[in-house]
Amino acid sequence: MLSSLRPAFVTMLAFTALTGAALPLAIVGGAQILAPEKADGSLVIRDGQPVGSLLIGQNFTGAGFFHPRPSATVEPDPKDSSKTIPTPYAADNSAASNLAPTSKALIDRVRGDVAALHATSVPADAVTTSGSGLDPDISPENALMQADRVAAARHLATDQVRALIASHTQLPLLGFLGGARVNVLALNLALLNMPR
Amino acid sequence: MTVSGFAQILVVLLVPALLALPLGRFIARIANGERTLLSPILAPVERGLFAACGIRAGASMGWRGYVSALMVFSVMHFILLYAVLRGQYYLPMNPLHFPGMSPRLAFNTAISFLTNTNWQAYAGETTLSPFSQMLGLTSHNFLSAAAGIAAAFAVSRAFRKGSGANGLGNAWVDITRITLHLLIPISIVLTAILIALGVPDTLSASTTVTTLEGVKQVIALGPVAFQEAIKNLGTNGGGFFNANAAHPFENPGVLSDLIENWTLLLIPFAMPVAFGVIAERVRDGIALLVTMVVLLGLFAVLLYAAEAAGNPLLHALGVVGGNMEGKEVRFGVALSSVFAAATTGTSTGAVIAAHDSLMPLGGLVALFLMQLGEVVPGGVGSGLYGIVVFAIMAVFVAGLMVGRTPEYLGKKIGAREVKLAMLAVLILPLCILGGAAYSLCTASGLGSLANAGPHGLSEMLYAWTSATANNGSAFAGLSADTPLLDYGLAIAMLLGRFAFLVPVLAIAGSLAAKPSVPPGQGTFPTDGALFVGLLAGVILILGGLQFLPALSLGPLAEHVSMLAGHSY
C-alpha cells in the first residue's frame, strides 16, 4: 500500500495537469483561433445582433412563424426558487419530459396539442417533446402542416411557402442515416427575407 | 421498422467491429511495452514520469500489488475530485458564481466519476463551472478509463504461457501508457472533428441572444468538445449538459452522432482482440468479440422494433409514426434506438434520447443489457474482464456436462476460480434487486419517482441497475439527489466496480501462477461457433434468470397494460 503512495500521487498530479488543464486550455485556444464561430456556439447574426444559434431551438409563437416542437424545459420560479415554471426552449437548462409512454400527463398533453392543431393525422414530432428540449428541427411533414397558417399570416401563396420548406429540407445523410428535417430558425429567417 | 432502419443499425455496429481488429493489435502493443507511432515524442515523457514515480519499467506486480495500486490511486482521486466539487465557489473560472456541491451530492458525483459510472444527480449547465468540468470531470474521464483498461491488461497477462504469479504487469506503467498512447491522441483527433461539426469549446459559460420574436434566450456554453470526445471514447458517459448527447451542442448532427456512437463502441470491441494478442490466443479473443457483436446487434434490433412500433395510446389520438417523445428529429427513431442499445451494452450511459420515455419494451432492453453485467461489450477494460468471468463460467458448465476439469486458454479452472467468478457475478443481483427493493419500501424512495404505475418500479430498478453496472444512464425523471439515493447509489457504484474487480484480479493472480497445459483430446475448443453459442447462452441465462421476475413487474407489466389501453 505505502509503496503505491508516491506513484499514485505523481501520476495524479501529472495527468490532472495534462488532461484537466493543459490540453483543454490548449484546445480552447486552438478552437478560438481556427474555428471561432463554431467554438462559440454557431450564433446567427442579423443586423449586427445575435438572434440565436442555428443548433439550438427557440420558441416561436406568432402565426407568421413556423413553430418548433413542444419543449419540456423549465426555469426556476422567480417568486419561489424551490418551484419551477414551464419555459420552452430555455437553453441554459436542457431537459426532457421524462414522461412514460403510459403516463396520463403525456396523454393529456398530446390530446390537447392535437386538438389545437385541428388535424386528423399529426406527425409525431409535432406533439412530442425532444430529449434536450432544444431540438432545432421539425420534420418536413410538420412544416408542411403549418404552411397554410404561415402563408395566410404573411399574405403569401401557400405554394411559395411550400417551396421554401422544400428548399430548406435536409435529407438523411447518404439518403438513409438519421431523419429528414427542417431547421426552424433557418426557415423563419428565410421567411423574413422573402419579398412580399 | 424499415430497411433503412436496419441499415442504420448495421452501419453503427459494423464500423467499430471492423476497426477493432487493427485497434486491438495496437492496444496489445501498448500493453506489451512495444514502440508505437508516437513513441519518439512520448518515450522521454514516460521515462521522466517513471523516474518521478520511483518505479522501474520492468517491475511486474502480483494480483495483490495490482489491486492495492488501483485502490490507492482511486482513493487519492476521490479526495481530489471531492475537494474540487465542494470548493467550486472559491476556485477560479466560475463566471456564473455557482456554489459548491452539497456534501452528499459531491460524494455521489466523485464516486460516480471515479468508478467510470458518470451517474449524474445534477444538471451540468446549472451546477458546474468550466473549472470543475475540466479539472474535475474531464481528467477523471481519462483516468477511470485508463484504470479499467489497465485491469484488463492484468487479466489478459494471466493467460500467457509462463506468466508466473507476479506476471500481471505494472499498474503505473499501464495507466501511463494507456493514457499517453491511446486515450489522449484519439481524443485530440475526435475533439477537432467535433468542433468542426459544431460542438462548442470555449471558456465562457453562456451567451444571451434576442430571438426574432424579441425574447431573450440564455444559451449555456463551455469547454464541451474535449469532454465530449473522452466521455464517449472512455465509455464514461457523463454529459456536459443535463440532456447529455441529446443536447445539440454535444451532438449537433447525424455525422457527429455516428462518430460518437462509433467511438463509444471502439475500445470495448477492440479489447477482446487485444486480449487475444496479449494472451497469444488471437482466435479465442475474436470469439469473445463475435459474441459481443452478435448479442448487441440482436438487442439493438429488439429495441428498434419497440420504438419504431410507436405508442398505441398516442396513435389512438391521431398521432402517426414511431415513438418520438424524448427523441430528436435529426436522429430519428433508428439512430436513437441503436445508440440506446450501445450506450447500455457498453457501460457508457451517454444518451441521445430520454430513456425514461422509451417504450416499455425498449426500456426493458436497455435495462437488460446493463443487467447482463456490462459485457456486451461492456466498458473499456471492464467489459473484457467481465466477459472473461463469463467465459470461465461457460467452460465450467461445459466441463460439468462432459465430466472433465475445465480449462480456458490452457489454464486449468479450479474450484477457487469458479467460486471467485460467482462472487463477482453475484454483486449485481445483490445491489440491484436489494437496493431497488429497499428504496421502494421507503417514503423517500417512493417520493423520488416521477411516473406512476409499473413504470415507477422500472425507474427505481433502472437507477440501481445503472449504478451497480457502472453505466450512468438514467430514467431521468427520478429525483436522484436525495440522501437515500446519493449515498445508496454511490455505495452500489463502488461495489459494482471494486467488489467485481478484486475477485477478478484474484482469479488472474491464481491463473497466472498455474502452468499452461497444451490442449488435449478432451479440451473444449474456445475459439469456435460452439463456444460463442455456449457463452452467449451463459450470459443470457445468468442475466435472465436473476432479473426476469423484476422485469416482469416493471416493463413487461407496463407493456401489457399499455396494450390494454391503461394509463397511469
In this complex, which of B195, B230, B319 lies closest to A122 when CB atoms are compared?
B319
Q: A151 is written with which cell numbers?
A: 402563408
CB within 8 A of B48, min separation 6: which ones? none
Q: Which residue out of B126, B329, B556 would a mutagenesis test of the A interface target, given it has the greatest number of A Cβ atoms within 10 Å?
A: B329
- A148 CB within 8 Å of a chain B CB: no
Q: B450 is written with which cell numbers?
A: 416521477
**Which chain A residues are closer than 8 Å to B351 by Cβ?**
131
Q: Can you say how many angstroms the Cα of residue B534 is from the centroid of all Cα atoms in its chain?
A: 24
Cα distances (angstroms) measured from residue B534 to each of A148, A170, B274, B276, B542: 60, 46, 22, 19, 12
- A181 CB within 8 Å of a chain B CB: yes
Q: B40-61: per-residue pLDDT in tens?
A: 999 999 999 999 998 876 689 9
Q: What is the distance between the alpha carbons of residues B328 and A57, in angstroms, rounded to a whole number?
A: 11
- A59 CB within 8 Å of a chain B CB: yes
In this complex, which of A35, A39, A139 lies closest to B329 when CB atoms are compared?
A139
- What is the pairing mode between strands A43-46 and A122-123? unpaired
- A1 CB within 8 Å of a chain B CB: yes
Contact B50, B176 (CB under 8 A): yes
Enumerate the domain spans of chain B.
15-253
- A23 CB within 8 Å of a chain B CB: yes
CB within 8 A of A26, min separation 6: which ones? none
Q: Which of A86, A125, A189, A101 is nearest to B324 (CA)?
A: A125
Which of residues 79 through 138 in chain A touch B, CB cutoff 8 A? 89-104, 106-107, 110-111, 114, 119-125, 127-138
Q: Which of B261, B239, B272, B467 is nearest to B370 (CA)?
A: B467
Q: What pLDDT is attached to residue B544? A: 76
Q: What is the mean pLDDT of the segment spanning A6-34?
A: 95
**Which chain B residues are closer than 8 Å to A75 by Cβ?**
none
Establish whether the linkage from the previous residue to B429 is cis, with ω within 30° of 0.
no
Q: What is the mean pLDDT of the segment spanning A96-108?
A: 97
Which amino acid is present at B63?
W
- A66 CB within 8 Å of a chain B CB: no
**Which chain A residues are closer than 8 Å to B333 by Cβ?**
179
In this complex, which of B77, B359, B451 lies closest to A103 when CB atoms are compared?
B451
**Which chain B residues are closer than 8 Å to A131 by Cβ?**
243, 246, 326-328, 336, 351-354
Q: Does A196 score more than 70 pLDDT?
A: no
**Which chain B residues are closer than 8 Å to A62 by Cβ?**
213
In this complex, which of A51, A121, A122 lies closest to B211 when CB atoms are compared?
A51
Contact B313, A102 (CB under 8 A): yes
Its pTM stands at 0.96
pLDDT of chain B along its 568 residues, tens only? 899 999 999 999 999 999 999 999 999 999 999 999 999 999 999 999 999 998 876 689 999 999 999 999 999 999 999 999 999 999 999 988 999 999 999 999 999 999 999 999 998 888 999 999 999 999 999 999 999 999 999 999 999 988 888 999 999 999 999 999 999 999 999 999 999 999 999 999 999 999 999 999 999 999 999 999 999 999 999 989 999 999 999 999 999 999 999 999 999 999 999 999 999 999 999 999 999 999 999 999 999 999 999 999 999 999 999 999 999 999 999 999 999 999 999 999 999 999 999 999 999 999 999 999 899 999 999 999 999 999 999 999 999 988 888 999 999 999 999 999 999 999 999 999 999 999 999 999 999 999 999 999 999 999 999 999 999 999 999 999 999 999 999 999 999 999 999 999 999 999 999 999 988 887 889 999 999 999 999 999 987 788 999 999 999 999 999 999 999 9
Contact B348, B232 (CB under 8 A): yes
In this complex, which of A7, A59, A101 lies closest to B215 when CB atoms are compared?
A59
Enumerate the domain spans of chain A.
2-39, 43-192
- Nearest CA to CA, how far is A157 from chain B (Å)? 22
Q: What is the distance between the alpha carbons of residues B161 and B24, in angstroms, rounded to a whole number?
A: 20
Q: B430 is written with which cell numbers?
A: 445483490
Contact B474, B437 (CB under 8 A): no
Count of Cβ atoms closer than 10 Å to residue A3 Cβ? 13
CB within 8 A of A141, min separation 6: which ones? A123
Q: A162 is written with which cell numbers?
A: 411550400
Q: Can you say how many angstroms the Cα of residue B281 is from the centroid of all Cα atoms in its chain?
A: 25
Please write down the HEC assignment for all residues of B493-559. HHHHHHHHHHHHHHHHHHHHCCCCCCCCCCCCCCCCHHHHHHHHHHHHHHHHHHHHHHHHHHHHHHH
Q: A110 is written with which cell numbers?
A: 398530446
Task: Please give the torsion angle defined by the CA atoms of residues B71, B76, B77 and B83, in that order, rounded to the nearest 10 degrees.
Answer: 140
* Interchain CB distance below 8 Å, B209 and A43: yes
**Which chain B residues are closer than 8 Å to A194 by Cβ?**
none
In this complex, which of A27, A107, A185 lies closest to B226 when CB atoms are compared?
A27
- Nearest CA to CA, how far is A155 from chain B (Å)? 19
Contact B351, B245 (CB under 8 A): yes
Confidence of residue A82 (pLDDT cuts 50, 70, 90): confident
Q: Which of A97, A127, A95 is nearest to A114 (CA)?
A: A127
Note the ipTM here: 0.96
- Nearest CA to CA, how far is A182 from chain B (Å)? 9
Q: What is the mean pLDDT of the segment spanning A74-81?
A: 88
Count of Cβ atoms closer than 10 Å to residue B518 Cβ? 7
- Nearest CA to CA, how far is B8 from chain A (Å)? 6
